[in-house]
Amino acid sequence: MEMFSSNDIKDINSVVVDVGNALMQSTAGRIQVAENMLQMMPEKMTPEKYIQVLNTGNLELLTEGIMNEMDTIRDENENLIRGGEPIAISIDDHVLHINEHKDVISNQKLRQDPDLVARTLKHIQDHIDLMRTTDPDLLAIIGSQPLGPVGGTPVNSPEGQPPQGQSAMAQQPVADGSQVEPAKLPGEFADLPQNPEDLMKQNS
C-alpha cells in the first residue's frame, strides 16, 4: 500500500480501471484457467499463447479470434434482415455460423418474411456446401468436420472406415472375385506376421 494526498494526484484528469478476475492474480489460478482453455479450445492454444496466459493472465490472446467471428456473424445476421446476401467462405467456423444464423428465423415475426427465410436458408446451405467441397485438410486445421456427399456416408464416420487392422484396399474385391492382398508392412515391421495364416504358422 502507498499513502497519497490530494496534492499528489492534482494533475490527474481521469483514471481507467481494468476490472480483472481475482483468480487470474495467482499463478495457480492462471494455470487452472490456461488448462481449462486448452481443453475447450485445443486448436487455439499454442505453447506460446499458453505461456503468455500463465505470465500475464490475459485471455484476449485466445478469445480474440472467436469474438471477431461472433462480430462477423452478427453483421451477417443484420445484413440478412436488411435484405443483403452475405458470403460464406471456406475458413468460416461453419457449425458456429449455422447455429447462429438460424436464430434469424427463430423469431416468429421475422419468419413471416418468406424472402428473409429464403435468404437465410440459402446462406446456411452455402456453409453446408463448403463443408463438403473444401479441402478436408484445411477443415481439419481450423477445427471443422468435413461432410460426406448428400445421402452418402459422412467423412471420417465409423461406417466409412474399414475394420480395425485392415486397409481399405484389402476390402475391395478385384475383377475375378478374389481379394486384393493387403499391403506389406514396411521397415522394422517386415518380419512380423502380415496376415492370419502367417500368425497361425508362427504359433504352431
What are 82-94's pLDDT values in tens digits? 999 999 999 999 9
What is the distance between the alpha carbons of residues 93 and 71, in angstroms, rounded to a whole number? Answer: 13
Highest mean pLDDT among 48-52, 71-75, 144-148, 179-183: 71-75
pLDDT-derived band at 123 (thresholds 50, 70, 90) equals very high
HSE-up (13 A, CA, CB side) for residue 148: 11
Query: What pLDDT is attached to residue 162?
Result: 45
In whole angstroms, give the CA distance from residue 29 to residue 19: 16
* Residue type, position 25, single letter: Q
Helix axes 47-56, 60-81, angle to 10 degrees: 100
> 200 vs 116, which has greater pLDDT?
116
Cα separation of the two ends of the chain: 81
pLDDT in tens, 142-160: 878 888 777 655 455 444 4
Supply φ then ψ for residue 131, to 5 degrees: -70, -20
pLDDT at 100: 93
pLDDT confidence of residue 52: 76
- DSSP 8-state symbol, 179: B
Backbone φ, ψ for residue 27 (5° rounding): -60, -40
Give me 138's grid cell.
484445411
Give the mean pLDDT of 17-39: 73
pTM: 0.53
Whole-angstrom Cα distance, residue 193 to residue 143? 37
Q: How confident is the model at residue 171 (pLDDT cuts 50, 70, 90)?
A: very low
- The grid cell for 198 is 502367417
Q: Which runs of consecutive H residues, i.e. helices, occur in the chain?
A: 27-40, 47-56, 60-81, 94-101, 108-111, 114-133, 136-142, 196-203
Cell triple for 30: 492462471
Q: Residue 173: helix, strand or coil by DSSP?
A: strand
Is-contact 30 24, C-beta < 8 A?
Answer: yes
Indicate the DSSP class of residue 170. G
Q: Average pLDDT over the chain, rounded to whole?
A: 74
